[in-house]
Amino acid sequence: MPPAQKQAQAARLNPVWYHYACATVAAALVLGNLLRWAYLDAPDNYHCGAMLSTGKWLDEGTYKNWQPEGCYQAAIKAPALAKCLTSPSAVTPVTDGLSNRRVLFVGDSTVRQLYFAAVRQVDKGTDYPKSWESDGEKHSDRKAVITTKGGQQLTIEFWWDPYLNTTQTHDYLASRPETPAAMLVMGSGLWYLRNPSSGGATAFTKTIEDTFETLRAKQGSPLAPLLNPWDAMTTTGSNWLPGLMPDSTGAGVSAGGHDFALADAVFFVPVANPVVEKLSAERAETIVPADVEMMNAEVATRLAQSNPPPIIVPSVFNELLVDEETSDGLHFSDRIMDKQAELLYSWRCNDVLRKEVSEGACCRRYTTLRPLQALLLLYLGVWAPISCLIAPRLRPGHPLLAVIPADKVAKAISSFGLAIAYLYLADRTTIFLKEQKDWDPKIFSALMIAALIAGLATVKNKGKDLGFLNRDITDEWKGWMQIAILIYHFFGASKISGIYNPIRVMVAAYLFMTGYGHFFFYFKKADYGFNRIAQVLVRLNLLSVVLPYTMNTDYAFYYFAPLVSWWYMIIYGTMFLGSKYNDKPAFLLTKLVVCAGAITAFMHQTWMMEGLFSFLNTVFRIQWSAKEWSFRVTLDLYIVWGGMLAAYAFIKFNELRIAERPFFPALRTGAIVASVLGLIWYMWFQLSRKDKFEYNGYHAAVSCIPILSFVVLRNASALLRTCTSQLFCFVGQISLETFILQFHGWLAADTKAVLLVLPATRWRPVNLVVSSIAFGWLSYKVSGATGDITSWAVGKKKPALPPPVTQGEPIFDAGQENIPLMEPAKDENGNAVNGSANASAAYAAPEKSWRDSTVMSVLGNIGVLAQTHDSVKLGLVLLVLWVANWLY
């Protein structure tokens, strides 16, 4: 080879360079976020401080979606709020007999507005409608009493005290109430500026100095500014691995002491920044922005001292203010005030309400690792990759080889384990940031169009007609649908009925292909053996079974794999029942109708499903919601049967050679026209429904129309069947993994939020690109690993060893191929003895009493059976899962 050619060849990129590039991106993301977590976010890993100090509106003009920097924030439902505010927090000094509690607001008109918003958040207009706010005198005390579902009484009070100098306020701050308030919210400042005769900013400074000193004496004197709702007065912020190893630091540290005697938390509201252009002439003379800034700086300075007051200042309140949301320059709209109240409540309650608040929410510690969860994470994320590296270096017979996966599956388990570890770090620690979703129709549409263009740009002509609904077309179909579903989930578009409804059709299309493909296989192959069932179910469910134990969720949470598995078993049972008569159309069609009717009746009798799930919970500790599962199944109750009938129709179409009949061109034209009309009718129908809830009632019956219309149009000509998009095919081949991994590796907080692999809200567009690269590569690797593990676990077996020559009939089955052949029996002169009986005796195991058997020998025999019998292997796996459910 000429030197120039050799040099050119050496300069070529590695053909799998993109794998290395994606792996480098994923590794860099983990390392970079680890460094950010360790150094930049160390003081505030749970973003409690960030929630009350930084953020931005994601939906300017609507002002409903406020994004704190680096964490996911969502409003707490009213019943849960009432439950929280009548329950002790981590620092409540009195935990016994807490049945009735109160939330106290003290201050001026801006605090009164916050008070009204706080009542709205808990009551939702049930007992205190909007008109209640305008009842009574303007400058007076107010009280709202709310009864919780548990019978406790929550009193939310407001004391009119614009100067924080009334006797009522002084007496309360100087007292030690029997039951501390759940929250004490104070605020002042504007009245000092509005009435210079009060002493102005100087008097304000004196007031907060006296107030803070009183609070130190009665509430406690913290060593550092209070940041988290679980911080004790002695907390200095030096927790071990905060946000990485879930902990309960601070829980109960003050129980029985004198700290937090006044309230679980004392908030001091900053003076609101005025909108000067909207102030009245009288107010504009005395309320000057510079004075407001000086007042807020005075409070911030005292928090920075070595002996800070025991208060939390939600400085973010002024960032929430929007000029167009005020009419007088001082008081802002309900949606601004509602958001302020929401943030205060979230700071106080997110950690208390761990079961009601999503993982990854601001100021909520992650659930403590369970022992079994930790062991599984260590095995998959640490031991599996390490063992894959050290196994080749160990001598044969080394003791560690007994706990190292077999060579042929070691790399697959290693890849699978590293992916699980990545998901855990991403969605169960504060190493990666999370933020809420934001619906933006322009960006949503732009991404959909960009995906379509990318798919069309990679269309390739295979050069021959691959047949109706061939593998490439179904992969392509799965691919573009999966991309659409991912974009839909990223933007949280489920609230938009006109988008939700077509996405539901896409999920139904997956089930249509399930019915089509499995019917085709069982009708043509008639292979009802265990190995086929095991391969399908293991491949479908491996990821969905492991994730619940590592992410502390449940199997039904990853609903797609359970749903497809459910329908696969129904298809299998239907086809197996009377399978020898499946070639008779009358029998087969009748069977399909009867089975469809039976499943429909079963799914509509919810008591039967509830009884089944109750049994599963009692015996296997499987806690699934019968209501949720019934909703998932009944939503697409008929489309699987439609897929099976479509497969049978295509089989008969070929048998009857319809394509060769003279009327076929007219039939094809009619089908194309009907399909176009079907798609148009469906779009009109779904858009004309009032909302998605009304549409759901029709979906099971109408989803077959757009699906069958697409099938006809996509396969309408040989050219269309020849061309497929390589991008969509690639995504379609890993669609199962992308659908499941998105829960924790692309989205966050169990799909409720967006995962930020790059910090800072302003980088969200770049984050989307980089995160998608890592997510796509991860899905690809997990798909390959899952396939390899499935092949190893329930793959094809080697043929049995041939029987010995002295044996008349084979005595070994295919599962005993690893048992070594024994020497033939010999007589006393050493000559071989012929005869099947003697040969059988030679193979027979020596007689051994069960008393002589050891536990290890029994386990060893089970191990041999597991290696040679898939049914034993999977039975042991199910046994282990059953035990794990009870131990978890």
pLDDT score at 814: 35
pLDDT score at 359: 86
CA atoms of 571 and 592, how far apart (whole Å):
9
Please give the C-alpha separations between residue 196 and each of 106, 204, 209, 286, 760, in angstroms, as whole numbers: 21, 11, 19, 7, 42
The DSSP H or E segment spanning 460 is strand 459-461
Neighbours of 672 (CB within 10 A): 15
Q: Which residues of 256-266 are buried (b: 16+ CB within 10 A; e: fewer)?
A: eeebbbbbbbb
pLDDT score at 799: 41
CA 643 to chain centre: 30
CA atoms of 287 and 278, how far apart (whole Å):
12
pLDDT of 316 > 70? The answer is yes
Q: Model confidence at 707, in pLDDT bands (50, 70, 90)? A: very high
pLDDT score at 146: 94
pLDDT score at 242: 57
pLDDT score at 825: 44
pLDDT score at 379: 92
Are the beta carbons of 226 and 267 closer than 8 angstroms? no
Q: Model confidence at 622, in pLDDT bands (50, 70, 90)? A: confident
Q: Model confidence at 244, in pLDDT bands (50, 70, 90)? A: low
Q: For residues 277-297, give the mean pLDDT.
A: 94
CA atoms of 49 and 347, how far apart (whole Å):
9
Taking each helix axis as running N to C, give the angle between helix 664-687 and helix 692-702, from 0 to 180 degrees, rounded to the nearest 10. 160
Burial (0-12, 13-18, 19+ Cβ within 10 Å), 420: buried
pLDDT per position as a tens digit, 41-94:
888 999 999 999 999 999 988 999 999 998 999 999 999 999 999 988 888 887
pLDDT of 215 > 90? The answer is yes
Two tokens, residue 125: 């207009």
Neighbours of 860 (CB within 10 A): 11
For every residue of 281-342, DSSP letters joined together read HHHHHH--HHHHHHHHHHHHHHHTSSS--S-B--THHHHH--GGGBSSSS-B-HHHHHHHHH
Q: Model confidence at 95, in pLDDT bands (50, 70, 90)? A: low
pLDDT per position as a tens digit, 477-533:
999 999 999 999 999 999 999 999 999 999 999 999 999 999 999 999 999 999 899
For every residue of 655-694, DSSP letters joined together read HTTGGGSTTHHHHHHHHHHHHHHHHHHHHHHHHTSSSHHH
Two tokens, residue 574: 């239907």
Using alpha carbons, select from 128, 133, 107 the residue that is nearest to residue 208: 107
Q: Tell me the three state secondary structure of residue 555.
A: helix
Using alpha carbons, select from 609, 629, 620 the residue that is nearest to residue 565: 629
pLDDT score at 854: 55
Number of residues that make up the chain = 888
CA atoms of 346 and 506, how far apart (whole Å):
36
Q: Tell me the three state secondary structure of residue 459.
A: strand
Q: For residues 818-834, give the mean pLDDT.
A: 42
pLDDT per position as a tens digit, 424-439:
999 999 999 999 999 9
Using alpha carbons, select from 765, 753, 768 the residue that is nearest to residue 70: 753
pLDDT score at 96: 65
Q: Tell me the torsion sign for CA atoms 505, 511, 517, 519.
A: negative
pLDDT score at 857: 58
pLDDT score at 811: 31
pLDDT score at 544: 95
pLDDT of 401 > 90? The answer is no
For every residue of 433-447, DSSP letters joined together read EEEE----HHHHHHH
Domain 62-349: which CATH number of 3.40.50.1110, 2.102.10.10, 2.40.30.10, 3.40.50.300: 3.40.50.1110
Q: Tell me the three state secondary structure of residue 181.
A: strand
Give percent of the chain above pLDDT 90: 67
Q: Tell me the three state secondary structure of residue 381.
A: helix
Q: Model confidence at 614, in pLDDT bands (50, 70, 90)? A: confident
pLDDT per position as a tens digit, 437-476:
999 999 999 999 999 999 999 999 998 898 999 999 999 9
CA atoms of 191 and 156, how far apart (whole Å):
24
Domain map (residue ranges) of the chain: 62-349, 407-789
CA atoms of 550 and 377, how far apart (whole Å):
6
Q: Model confidence at 858, in pLDDT bands (50, 70, 90)? A: low
CA atoms of 44 and 730, how far apart (whole Å):
41
Are the beta carbons of 561 and 740 closer than 8 angstroms? yes
Two tokens, residue 99: 């049945």
CA 239 to chain centre: 27
- What mean pLDDT, rounded, does the chain reach? 87
Are the beta carbons of 876 and 536 closer than 8 angstroms? no
CA atoms of 162 and 198, how far apart (whole Å):
11
CA atoms of 258 and 219, how far apart (whole Å):
8
3-state secondary structure 813-861: CHHHCCCCCCCCCECCCCCECCCHHHHHHHHCCCCCCHHHCCHHHHHHH
pLDDT score at 880: 85
Q: Model confidence at 804, in pLDDT bands (50, 70, 90)? A: very low
pLDDT score at 243: 56
CA 385 to chain centre: 25
Greatest CA separation for the chain? 128
Q: Which residue pairs from 694-700 have beta carbons closer than 8 angstroms and sit at least 24 positions apart in sequence?
A: 695/497, 695/500, 695/501, 695/504, 696/504, 696/635, 699/501, 699/504, 699/505, 699/508, 699/635, 699/636, 700/634, 700/635, 700/636, 700/637, 700/638, 700/639
pLDDT per position as a tens digit, 536-583:
999 999 999 999 999 999 999 999 999 999 999 999 999 999 999 999
β strands within 340-410, DSSP E: none
pLDDT score at 326: 95
pLDDT of 619 > 60? The answer is yes
Question: Distance between the two ends of the chain, CA-based, in angstroms?
Answer: 63
CA atoms of 345 and 350, how far apart (whole Å):
8
Q: Model confidence at 606, in pLDDT bands (50, 70, 90)? A: confident
Within 13 A of 797's CA, how many CA atoms are on the CB side?
19
pLDDT score at 150: 82
Choice between 802 and 297, residue whose per-residue pLDDT is larger? 297
pLDDT per position as a tens digit, 782-801:
999 999 999 988 875 444 33
Choice between 737 and 616, residue whose per-residue pLDDT is larger? 737
Taking each helix axis as running N to C, give the angle between helix 626-635 and helix 560-576, from 0 to 180 degrees, rounded to the nearest 10. 70
- Which residues are catalytic, by number? 109, 328, 331
pLDDT per position as a tens digit, 352-374:
998 889 888 999 999 888 999 99
pLDDT score at 595: 96
Are the beta carbons of 803 and 840 closer than 8 angstroms? no
Q: Which residues of 561-586 are buried (b: 16+ CB within 10 A; e: fewer)?
A: bbbbbbbbebbbebbeeeeeebeeee
Question: Radius of gyration over alpha carbons of the chain, in Å?
Answer: 34
Q: Model confidence at 887, in pLDDT bands (50, 70, 90)? A: confident
Burial (0-12, 13-18, 19+ Cβ within 10 Å), 397: exposed
